[in-house]
Amino acid sequence: MSSNQSHSPIGQKWLEPGSVIEIIGVLILGGLFLYWDISRAMYLLTAFFAIGYSIKQKPQLPRDHRFFSWPIYGFVGAAVLALAYHGFPDRGMNMLFSRYFLLLIAIPLVGLYFSQYRSDRNIWIKFALPCLVLASYGLYEVYFLGLSRAEGGNNAVVFGLVSASLICIVISSYYKFQELRYGKLLYCLCLVAGVIAILLSGSRGSWIVLPVIIMGAFIFYMERASLIKRCSIATVAVLVFFAVSLMIPQVRGRIDNLVTIISPYVTGEQRSKFDSASFRVEAWKAGWIMGNENKLLGVGPGSFRNELKIYVAENPELETLQTMKHAHNQYVQTYATM
């Protein structure tokens, strides 16, 4: 076979099954902010296709896939045991089918991606466009619609976390970007866009990723310099970045709010009111106590709110805490419920 026939044209690669599946993955991720139900439906349909593919083709998957699968089996198994112990309450069963089983069908879905992977496709570059879109949407929401935080029409925290995930993929794709004309320029543009989206989300949890993002980008970009020099320059860049970001009103406001929230816990002062973060701290404490009192299988999925009402009845000063639907921390929630 001649060299001209050994590889399909680039245009055809976008029509290959593997490329189509990868594009669907990007649409599922990006669709969270525009059409949640469509994104969820695409996830389910693709996962069911993956189940059929796994049964029919029986692909040989690497050990990484099994390593990815076992924690999910353990998590869902713990939920089933906790539900069985507490008599399968209706709310818990609803959570089992609407949330936890969705994790199970991610296993064949990831297997499908493994089996369709080809290193000659620039698959990671497909994540560049969502970075640019999220940044544009965030700027539109904050500076045109006047929102205090960019939320993508759905949830500011999810918006920030997805932006952080996308930008980390872009960082690790540096060598793929080098294969493109103006690839380095596009690389930098995507990084800036992703950072803007994370900052405007106001998600302090997402901000934790920013030093890693900036240092990683510099270490990749300055590949010809020594490691010590790259790390030194990256550290300076992180410090400069945070100094500059404090000039953004949305960022400074969120940091001031955080200091106000944390101060009473550090100084021991009496809190005058509860806000979003102090609610979370109290919810964590409540979840921790629930878990400690029910160490074997927790209070059961779907029972957190009922147990929280009992906790609030014993601590009347936390009356408004009973509006919380969960512990606002998945680790604490898991410990408390199963």
> Which string of b and e fits 29-65 if b means at least 16 CB within 10 Å?
bbbbbeeeeebeebbeebbeebeebbeeeeeebeeeb
Q: Give the Å distances, CA to CA, from 190 to 40, 133, 169, 243.
A: 26, 10, 11, 21
128 by Cβ neighbours in 10 Å (0-12 / 13-18 / 19+) ranks as buried
At 240, which amino acid appears?
V
Look at residue 273 in the predicted model and tell me its pLDDT: 60
Over the chain, what HEC string results? CCHHHHCCCHHHHCCCHHHHHHHHHHHHHHHHHCCHHHHHHHHHHHHHHHHHHHHHHCCCCCHHHHHHHHHHHHHHHHHHHHHHHCCCCHHHHHHHHHHHHHHHCHHHHHHHHHHHCCCCCCHHHHHHHHHHHHHHHHHHHHHHCCCCCCCCCCCHHHHHHHHHHHHHHHHCCHHHHCCCCCHHHHHHHHHHHHHHHHHHHCCHHHHCCHHHHHHHHHHHHCCCCCHHHHHHHHHHHHHHHHHHHCCCHHHHHHHHHHHHHHHHHHHCCCCCCCCHHHHHHHHHHHHHHHHHHCCCCCCCCCCHHHHHHHHHHHCHHHHHHHHCCCCCCHHHHHHHHC
pTM, 2 dp:
0.64
**Residues ≥6 apart with Cβ < 8 Å to 281:** 265
At 27, which amino acid appears?
L
Look at residue 3 in the predicted model and tell me its pLDDT: 41
Greatest distance between any 2 Cα atoms in the chain? 80
Look at residue 315 in the predicted model and tell me its pLDDT: 84
Distance CA 30, CA 215 (A): 26
Which candidate, 116, 119, 123, 115, places its Cα nearest to that of 62?
115
Look at residue 2 in the predicted model and tell me its pLDDT: 42
Distance CA 148, CA 98 (A): 31
At 186, which amino acid appears?
L
Is 327:283 a contact under the CB 8 Å cutoff?
yes
Instruction: Please list the pLDDT of the chain residue by residue as tens digits (338 residues).
Output: 444 444 444 444 545 666 777 777 777 766 666 666 777 788 888 888 888 888 887 777 777 777 778 888 998 999 999 988 888 888 888 888 888 888 888 888 888 877 777 766 655 667 788 888 888 888 998 888 888 888 877 788 888 888 888 888 888 788 778 777 888 888 888 888 988 888 888 887 888 888 888 888 777 777 777 878 888 888 888 888 888 888 888 788 888 877 777 777 677 666 656 666 677 788 888 999 999 998 888 888 888 888 888 888 888 878 878 777 888 888 888 899 98
